[in-house]
C-alpha cells in the first residue's frame, strides 16, 4: 500500500512540471498503460466497439489520450519501443463473468503468457480490447504483462 501511494505521488509530481518547460521523457509503463486503456474505453463508449487494429488504436489514443499520441514504452530488459504488437483473440482467455469491475472489461480475463512475444512494446488484442505491456519479465509487482 505504501509503495502504491509513493508511486502515485511521483506521477503527480511528474505531471506538475511548470508550463512551457519542454521535457521529453518516457512516461512510466504504468502511466502509458493507463493512457492506452482509458483511450480504448472511451473509444468503446463512443463507437460501441473496441479499436480493431493498430490504426484505430493509435487514432483512439490521439483522440482520447491527452493529445500526445501513442506513448513510448520502456521496461528494463528491452529498448525503448513505440509500436504495438497485435495479438489474436486466442491470447485472451475470458474468465467467467464476476462482479462488475470499475477498471474495465479487460479485468475479466487473463493473457495466455506462453503465446506472448516478449517484445517490450505495447500489446493489444482487439476482440477483448485488452492493452498490456508485451513483456514476460518480472517487474516489482508481478510480471509486466500482468499489470
Residues that bind Zn ion (CB under 5 A): 77, 118, 135, 137
Q: Which residue's CB is nearer to Zn ion, number 43 or number 122?
A: 122
Cell (9 digits) for 117: 512475444
> In the bound complex, which residue of the shown chain has the CB atom lying closest to Zn ion?
135
| Strand partners for 123 | 85, 132
Find the shortest distance in angstroms from Cβ 90 to Zn ion: 20
The distance between the two most distant Cα atoms of the chain, rounded to a whole number of Å, is: 48
In 3D, which of 125, 110, 124 has the Cα closest to residue 73? 124
Find the shortest distance in angstroms from Cβ 79 to Zn ion: 11
Q: Which residue's CB is nearer to Zn ion, number 53 or number 77?
A: 77
Q: Parallel, antiparallel, or unpaired for β 84-86 and 122-125?
A: parallel
Find the shortest distance in angstroms from Cβ 125 to Zn ion: 18
Amino acid at each position: 500500500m505504501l509503495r502504491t501511494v509513493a508511486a502515485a505521488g511521483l506521477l503527480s509530481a511528474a505531471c506538475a512540471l511548470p508550463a512551457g518547460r519542454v521535457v521529453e521523457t518516457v512516461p512510466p509503463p504504468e502511466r502509458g498503460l493507463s493512457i492506452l486503456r482509458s483511450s480504448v474505453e472511451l473509444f468503446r463508449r463512443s463507437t460501441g466497439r473496441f479499436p480493431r487494429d493498430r490504426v484505430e488504436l493509435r487514432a483512439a489514443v490521439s483522440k482520447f489520450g491527452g493529445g500526445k499520441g501513442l506513448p513510448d514504452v520502456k521496461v528494463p530488459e528491452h529498448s525503448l519501443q513505440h509500436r504495438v504488437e497485435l495479438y489474436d483473440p486466442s491470447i485472451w482467455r475470458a474468465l467467467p463473468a464476476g462482479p462488475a469491475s470499475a477498471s474495465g472489461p479487460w479485468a475479466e480475463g487473463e493473457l495466455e503468457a506462453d503465446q506472448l512475444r516478449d517484445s517490450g512494446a505495447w500489446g493489444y488484442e482487439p476482440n477483448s480490447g485488452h492493452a498490456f505491456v508485451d513483456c514476460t519479465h518480472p517487474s516489482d509487482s508481478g510480471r509486466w504483462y500482468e499489470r
